[in-house]
A and B are shown apart, each in its own frame.
Chain A
C-alpha cells in the first residue's frame, strides 16, 4: 500500500492541486492521493493523465474528473453535472448520486455511479462504459454512438433517443424509449459483456438474466427523402 498524499482544498487552491497532479510523469511512484474538503467545487480532479488513484472525500460540483485518462478517481459523495465528461480511459467511481449528463461524450474508461444518475446520463457517449447501480433520468444515452450503459434500476423518459451504436442494458422499467431506440434480443456475447461490466463495477449481485437490452433501430442514420418534412 503506497503512502497516500493528502491535499486539503480548505487551504490549497484547486489550481495548485491540479498543477501537482498534471505534473506527474507516466511512471510516477506518487500513485495514491486523497483530496479533502471539495465542498461542491467545480472541476475537481479534471484532466488527469497518469496511472494514479485519487479519492475525493466529499461532494463535488460540475465536471469532476472530466477528461480523465488512466487515473482511477473515487468520489466519496455526490457529483454535480457532467461528472467524468469526455473521459478517455481509466475509471471514475461516484459513491453517491450523480447529477445530469454523467459520462457525457466519454470516449473510453469506466464510470460507476453507486446511487442514481440524473437526466441525460451518457449523452453522446462515444466508447465509455457507464454502470449505474440506481436509476437514470430522462434522455439518457441521447445520440449515444458506442460503448455500454448499464442501469440496474429504472430509466426515465426517451431512453436512447436518436441512438447510434451504444448498447443500453436496463434491469428495471423503462418509462419510454426515444426515437429509433428499440429492444433487442440479448445473445451470449451481450450477456458476457454485461457480466464483465457488472464484475468490474463490483455489482455482481445483479443477475444478467434480469436485464433487457436496447439499441438502435437504425432508421434515422441517413438522410431519407420520405422524412424530409421532419428534418
Chain B
C-alpha cells in the first residue's frame, strides 16, 4: 500500500496554507499507510544560506548544538526546532564543514537533508500524530511532497520512512516495491553513492541523484529509471523548482492528479484531494504509465 501526496502551488497567495493542505491530505491517507509519515517542504531560498534538516531525539538541545557549531566554525547559524527535528540555516560555503562538525559534536544527531529551500521531516506513527508533532499546519512554502507508509520491504523504523533525500533539494516518495534494488545498490555503491538503509526506495532516490549528478535533467533521469528500475512504483520526486511523477509500465499503484489555475495536486486516491480549494472544477486525471510528468516554477 502506502499513500503519497504532493502539492505544487502556482498561486503565491496559497503559500501560507501549504502545510495545512498537506496535513489534510496526509491524514486522509492514514489507512493506506499507518506505520510512518514523512514530508518535504520547499520554501523561499535565502541568498547564500543553506538549510540543513537535523534529526535527533525529543530531548536533543538543538539550540546548544547550533551555538557550538557557530563557535567551532565561526559562522552565523540560526535554528528552528520542530520536535525531534531542527532546521539549521548555515552559510552555503560552510555546508560540508558543518556536516563534519556536526558529526563530531553529536553522535545522536543525523543530517537528513540539505538544500537551499527543502526541509524534510519524518516520524514513526500515524499521519495525525506525526504532522501534529512537527506542527506541519503552520508551515508554508511553494511545494511539498509527502508519504504515509505501510511497511513491506523493510522494517517499521524511522530509517525506512519516506521521503528519501540523497542530494541537495532532492527527495523521493514511493508507493510500490522494487525487485532489483540490491543489484542497483551494488552498482551505485561501486560508483561512490552512499546508502544509509536496506530500503528499496532509497535506491530509487540514490539512482535519480546519481543520474542528476551526471548531468541529466530530472525528466531524463526519470526516463532512464524506466529501463533500469524493475518493480512496482509510483514515484513523486521533489526538487528545488518543482515536482515530477512517474508510474511503472504496469501502473499497479494508483495515482490521481488535479490541476487548477492555482495548483497541481497529486494523491494516491482522489479522497486525499477533496478538501483542496476549487477541487470541484479542477481538471482531474490519472497520470499514464511510463510517462514522465513534471511541473516547475518559473525562475
Contacts and interface: CB of A to CB of B under 8 A. Distances in A.
Interface of A: 39-42, 59, 61-62, 78, 80-81, 97, 99-100, 118-119, 137-138
Q: Which of B251, B271, B284, B285 has the most CB atoms of chain A within a 10 A radius of its CB? A: B271
B289 interface: yes
Given A40-B269, A81-B254, A99 B274 contact: no
A100 B271 contact: no
Contacts of A78: 270, 284
B270 A59 contact: yes
B286 interface: yes
Contact of B274 (A39, A42, A100): A39
Contacts of B274: 39-40
Contact of A80 (B250, B254, B285): B254
A119 B254 contact: no
Contacts, number: 41
A96 B270 CA distance: 13
B32 to A, nearest CB: 11
B254 A99 contact: yes
Interface residues of B, number: 15
A138 B269 contact: no
B269 A80 contact: yes
Interface string B271-299: 11110000000001110110000000000
A113 to B, nearest CB: 13
A100 B272 CA distance: 18
A62 B289 CA distance: 19
The 7 closest A-B pairs by CB, nearest first: A40-B271, A40-B270, A39-B274, A119-B251, A59-B270, A40-B274, A61-B271
A187 to B, nearest CB: 35
Q: Which of B250, B251, B269, B270 has the most CB atoms of chain A within a 10 A radius of its CB? A: B270
A61 B269 contact: yes
B289 A39 contact: no
Nearest to B271: A40
A138 B270 contact: no
B270 A61 contact: yes
Contacts of B270: 40, 59, 61, 78, 80
A138 B271 contact: no
A78 B271 CA distance: 12
Nearest to A81: B254
A138 B289 contact: yes
Given A59-B284, A97-B284, A119-B251, 13 more contacts: A40-B271, A42-B271, A61-B269, A78-B270, A78-B284, A80-B256, A80-B269, A80-B270, A81-B254, A99-B286, A119-B250, A137-B289, A138-B251
A97 B289 CA distance: 17
B141 to A, nearest CB: 25
A80 B273 CA distance: 13
Contacts of B284: 59, 78, 97
Nearest to A39: B274
Contacts of A137: 251, 288-289
Contact of B271 (A39, A118, A119): A39
Interface in B220-271: 250-251, 254, 256, 269-271
27 contacts: A39-B274, A40-B269, A40-B271, A40-B272, A41-B271, A42-B271, A59-B270, A59-B284, A61-B270, A61-B271, A78-B270, A78-B284, A80-B256, A80-B269, A80-B270, A81-B254, A97-B284, A97-B285, A97-B286, A99-B254, A99-B256, A100-B251, A100-B254, A119-B250, A119-B251, A119-B289, A137-B251
B167 to A, nearest CB: 32
A171 B256 CA distance: 27
Contacts of B254: 80-81, 99-100
A78 B256 CA distance: 11
